[in-house]
Amino acid sequence: MKDALRVTRYDYLIAVREGRFWAALALTAVLAVFCIASTRKAYQVQTAQQRAAAEETHQQFLDQGDKNPHTAAHYGMYAFKPISLLSLIDPGVLPYTGVAIFMEPHRQNTALFRPAEDSSSSARFSSLSISTLMLVFVPFLIVAMLYDSVAGDFTNGSLRQLLATGISKRSFAFGKLLGAMAKISSVILPAGLLVGAILAFTDTQSFGSSALRLLLLCLAYFLYCCLWIMLTISVSALAKQPGRAIGALLLVWLLATLVIPPGAAELVRSLRPTPSRLAFEKAVAKDLQTPPRYEDEIKREALGEYHVSRVEDLPVSWAGVLLEKNENHTTHVYRSHMELLQSDYESQTRLASLLGIFDPLLNVKELSAALTGTSVRDFDEFTSSADRYRESFVQAMNDDMKEHGTAAGYVATRSTFETVPKFNATLPTLSDTLRSQSIGIVLLLVQLLLGAALFLFSMRRLEVL
């Protein structure tokens, strides 16, 4: 252990004397701070607007004036998607999903206003975030800083000298690994602390509630970096020449970060196609068509339930009964189609996760989005909770209509509208998130084990002569 620490110290000291270490440290810190500082203000403004709008939409519903309960339901409400503080680290799918859903009777609307549509292609194709830095840029830094960690010792003869001092190959290997981790941590940690401080300063309350997610996110990024560190040292040891090592490592980096992710997305799209909007809407419209004698069946059911023989004798409003049953039908149709679509997306995402066995970036990207509350699953949960809320307030209005609609010209008043609570979007809990990411987590651990095995193999093959 002592020998390993000697190697670590030697390695670290050499690194801090090199310009590339300080350049990497400065560049990482500047980029990270710039990424978060430039989006911080937008987050604060959007969060404030979202909260104010959520409050206002409910107030507008209450203030709409006395009217027929069903007309009141048609006035509708907007559900605004809450923004997580950690989206400053990883915006995930936020730019590609709508920010508001209009909730009204008879239909489940899709979310409106995707931020990416309001920005240009140049902004889209050059988007930079902390997660991009961690998933794409930091692996490049690892390769740039460590490609000669063993190969350099081979060529300049220092490996021979080190082993001649009696250090075992095992101590050398662990010393190198610890040294590499120390170097990379020294480069990333200052940037990480600055980012953490800015996050805490941006929204103290949300920071406290997201602390555990943030810690797990850091752990995921740390494991991802460990994987790259082990891979880089292994290739450096196997290549034995810095030139060869850098060539091979850059090829791996290029494939893992730039080629495989869009390639995997194309592959999954073609293997598991999802329906177009047109096909989806046609399928919904087909199922919405009520069968012949649908109304007769409802009538028979209602008459049976209330033990009367004529609609006029019903103790409740027949119009209210019809609206309630129709809403049940449309909600069922929309929900089943939406769930089918969401399960299609989930199966696509699962397949992409499985492809992540070839590329850890795919899994860690999904894990990162899930932990920051910006994954597809988080968005689906938001749309589902909006739909449940939509159903509840529409049916509350229909119930009121059913109960009081027998009186001619009945109108619901503010007191009826006040029975509708405010909308609170439910988001997946941390355990739900981790459960949904189980495949990715397992694959990442398997990749770490494979990385460790490659590292041990490369160190065993270490020959001085």
Which is nearer to another protein, 266 or 313 (by Cβ)?
A: 266
Joined tokens for residue 271: 């293997």
- H helices present in 63-168, as ranges: 69-75, 121-124, 130-132, 138-146, 151-156, 158-164
Using CB under 8 A, pick the residue from 12, 147, 423, 455 that binds another protein. Answer: 147
Which is nearer to another protein, 100 or 188 (by Cβ)?
A: 100
Residue 22 engages another protein in binding (rule: CB under 8 A): no
Residue 12 engages another protein in binding (rule: CB under 8 A): no
3-state secondary structure of 100: strand
Q: How many CB atoms lie within 10 A of CB 99?
A: 20
Question: Judged by CB under 8 A, which stretch of 141-149, 200-208, 219-227, 418-426 contacts another protein?
Answer: 141-149
Q: What are phi and psi of 184, to 5 degrees?
A: -65, -40
- The Cα 442–Cα 436 span in angstroms is 11
Which is nearer to another protein, 269 or 414 (by Cβ)?
A: 269
Residue 132 contacts residue 32 (beta carbons within 8 Å): no
Which is nearer to another protein, 136 or 319 (by Cβ)?
A: 136
Site for another protein in 163-192 (CB under 8 A): none
Which is nearer to another protein, 102 or 207 (by Cβ)?
A: 102
Using CB under 8 A, pick the residue from 170, 211, 219, 269 that binds another protein. Answer: 269
End-to-end CA distance of the chain: 25
Site for another protein in 371-400 (CB under 8 A): 375-376, 379
Residue 173 contacts residue 256 (beta carbons within 8 Å): no
Site for another protein in 347-366 (CB under 8 A): 348-349, 352, 365-366
Residue 10 engages another protein in binding (rule: CB under 8 A): no
- The Cα 146–Cα 224 span in angstroms is 16
Using CB under 8 A, pick the residue from 5, 14, 144, 354 that binds another protein. Answer: 144
Residue 41 engages another protein in binding (rule: CB under 8 A): yes
Site for another protein in 53-112 (CB under 8 A): 53, 56-57, 60, 64-65, 78, 80, 92-93, 95-100, 110, 112
Long-range contacts of 98-101 (CB under 8 A, 24+ apart): 99/50, 100/53, 101/383, 101/386
Residue 194 engages another protein in binding (rule: CB under 8 A): no
Q: How far is CA 278 from CA 114, 117, 274, 282, 335, in A?
A: 19, 20, 12, 6, 17
Residue 54 contacts residue 423 (beta carbons within 8 Å): yes
Which is nearer to another protein, 63 or 313 (by Cβ)?
A: 63
Residue-wise burial string across 432-458, b where 16 or more C-beta atoms lie within 10 A, e elsewhere: ebbebbebbbebbeebbeebeebbeeb
Question: What's the sign of the alpha-carbon dihedral 430, 435, 438, 439?
Answer: negative
Site for another protein in 304-333 (CB under 8 A): none
User: x-or-dash pattern for another protein, window 209-248, by CB under 8 A?
Assistant: ---------------------------------xx-xxx-
Nearest distance from residue 328's CB to another protein, in Å?
21
Question: Judged by CB under 8 A, which stretch of 315-323, 344-352, 406-414, 443-451 contacts another protein?
Answer: 344-352
Using CB under 8 A, pick the residue from 223, 229, 238, 268 that binds another protein. Answer: 268
Total site size for another protein, rule CB under 8 A: 91
Which is nearer to another protein, 4 or 72 (by Cβ)?
A: 72
- The Cα 7–Cα 462 span in angstroms is 16
